[in-house]
Structure 1
Amino acid sequence: MTTTDTKQEIEKNGFSIIENIYTDIEIQQLTDIIDNTDTSGATFRKSTNLFAIRQFLKEMPEISHLLFNNSLKQLIKEVFGEDYFAVKSIYFDKPGESNWFVAYHQDLTISVNTKVEIEGFGPWTTKQNQFAVQPPLELLENIFTIRIHLDETNKDNGALRVISQSHNKKIYRAETIDWSIETEITCEVPKGGIMFMKPLLLHSSGKTINNNRRRVIHIEFSNKRLPDGLQWAEKMNIL
């Protein structure tokens, strides 16, 4: 698939899967850094069903040069342009015995540095000392997400299920999904592959039933400046 095909697929369907962005050696280097990190801080969430690290790039700055290898940086430049920067990052580890699942939803909030009452921004939430707010629709439409897969992900260990083209339907509540017209797709991604996704794409993930682990690094990008008084909480230039 060419980068033109990838761009067209994202625009049409809301997602695209690219294989072989990372070698097995690079994946091992990434997981070694994660496994050797102190996880006692406030941005770390641990349970029997899920291990998550919010503000991932801030917590592990030494991992950036491995994550943003030449293959990924070139792909981002060709598909989206050279002016995008990272604005949010989360690491998910779904253990093999996990019964954790996520119902259909859109990603409707951004992470910001403070709470400021600005027209068009709201409602507000706070998670682990991080302010989040729903911004105007045009800002959400500008964002794209990269999901980096450190394990093979398939229908049996919680691969994302998406409703193709739903990102073009603005705010789309899960309870209003019309299954007579919508198409659900299971997004299986091999180890070392990535998935591009638009945040407004309706997506969900199921329970793990094959006892295989699923580790994913989720990074969101934008090239937009926020209104005066607000700043991206995790802005990082990577290109």
Structure 2
Amino acid sequence: MDLKEHRQKIEEEGFTIINDVFSTDEVEGILKKIDEADSEKPTFRKSDNLFAIRQFLKEIPEIQKSIFTEKLKKIIFELFGNDYFVTKSIYFDKPEQSNWFVAYHQDLTISVDKKLEIDGFGPWTTKQNQFAVQPSLDFLEDNFTIRIHLDNTNEENGALKIIPRSHLKGIYRAETIDWKTETEVSCNTEKGGIMIMKPLLLHASSRTTNNEKRRVIHIEFGNKELTNGLNYSERIDLQLV
């Protein structure tokens, strides 16, 4: 697989899509492990509109080898080098009847194990006893996210919408988007495919309208260690998986 074009697109556009990363059997194996997991844990969130698992790879450690196949690790290492590690993971299941949507935003925080007053870090948020903080801009500029699609995803079942090149503009508030100059792109991705994006890329997702599932594994990666007693709440070394 020649990844040169994908590397260039990530740098210039802020995202890329690579299909056929996971086979149908591999996807079904991942889904089976999710179905077998203990859903009573506090990091599992269930409602009519959403089923989500926070700290996904930490809560279901036996799934890590199914996720980080040799093919996926090769893509990561060739695109970004060998010094990146997992800093956050979430599993999203957007059910067929879901009316849930997400407005345009950037991913501006990292998940950490505690709240500490550290210069350059803030503001802080807490969700389901999970601490998150906005780090300095250089943290966010170097990070990347991989979204593994476990279903075919398009405009009708909540595919991610993005604004190309918005990751190059620093902190970019959604209310200041100039639609006269910006273009919206739907990141349609096949089952078993991945979308790679920079966290500063403005992105959103729409309501489901075609009664089709949209199950996605969202994994964030960084290459900067934390200091002053602060740790990532979920740190996984790819070399050890």
C-alpha distance in 2 between matches for 1:223 and 1:134? 16
C-alpha distance in 1 between matches for 2:2 and 2:186? 22
Q: Which residue of 1 aligns with 2:198?
A: 198
Question: Residue type of the partner of 1:43?
Answer: T
1:69-80 alignment runs, 5 A limit: 69-80=69-80
Is structure 2 residue 171 aligned with structure 1 residue 171? yes
Q: Which residue of 2 aligns with 1:19?
A: 19
Q: Which residue of 2 aligns with 1:185?
A: 185
C-alpha distance in 1 between matches for 2:168 and 2:144? 13
DSSP 3-state at the match of 2:236: coil
Is structure 2 residue 146 aligned with structure 1 residue 124? no
Question: How far 1:92 moved relative to its partner?
Answer: 0.1
1:1-239 alignment runs, 5 A limit: 2-239=2-239
Question: How far 1:2 moved relative to its partner?
Answer: 2.3
C-alpha distance in 1 between matches for 2:86 and 2:202? 21
C-alpha distance in 1 between matches for 2:118 and 2:151? 41
DSSP 3-state at the match of 1:10: helix
Question: How far 1:226 moved relative to its partner?
Answer: 1.3
TM-score norm. by structure 1 comes to 0.99
C-alpha distance in 1 between matches for 2:116 and 2:96? 41
C-alpha distance in 1 between matches for 2:22 and 2:122? 38
Unaligned runs of 5+ in 1: none
Question: Residue type of the partner of 2:40?
Answer: S
Q: Runs ≥4 in structure 1, deviation > 2 angstroms?
A: none
1:148-197 Cα deviation digits (max 9, x unpaired): 00000001000000000000000000000000000100000000000000
C-alpha distance in 2 between matches for 1:237 and 1:213? 31
C-alpha distance in 1 between matches for 2:140 and 2:113? 17
Question: How far 1:6 moved relative to its partner?
Answer: 0.8
Question: How far 1:227 moved relative to its partner?
Answer: 2.5
- Alignment length (residue pairs): 239
TM-score norm. by structure 2 comes to 0.98
C-alpha distance in 1 between matches for 2:176 and 2:45? 31
Unaligned runs of 5+ in 2: none
Question: Residue type of the partner of 1:176?
Answer: T
DSSP 3-state at the match of 2:185: strand
C-alpha distance in 2 between matches for 1:68 and 1:229? 29
Question: Residue type of the partner of 1:227?
Answer: T
Question: How far 1:222 moved relative to its partner?
Answer: 0.7
Cα RMSD of the aligned pairs, angstroms, is 0.8
Question: How far 1:130 moved relative to its partner?
Answer: 1.1
Percent of residue pairs identical: 62
C-alpha distance in 2 between matches for 1:25 and 1:114? 39
Question: How far 1:203 moved relative to its partner?
Answer: 0.2
Question: How far 1:117 moved relative to its partner?
Answer: 0.2
Question: How far 1:15 moved relative to its partner?
Answer: 0.3
C-alpha distance in 1 between matches for 2:53 and 2:151? 17
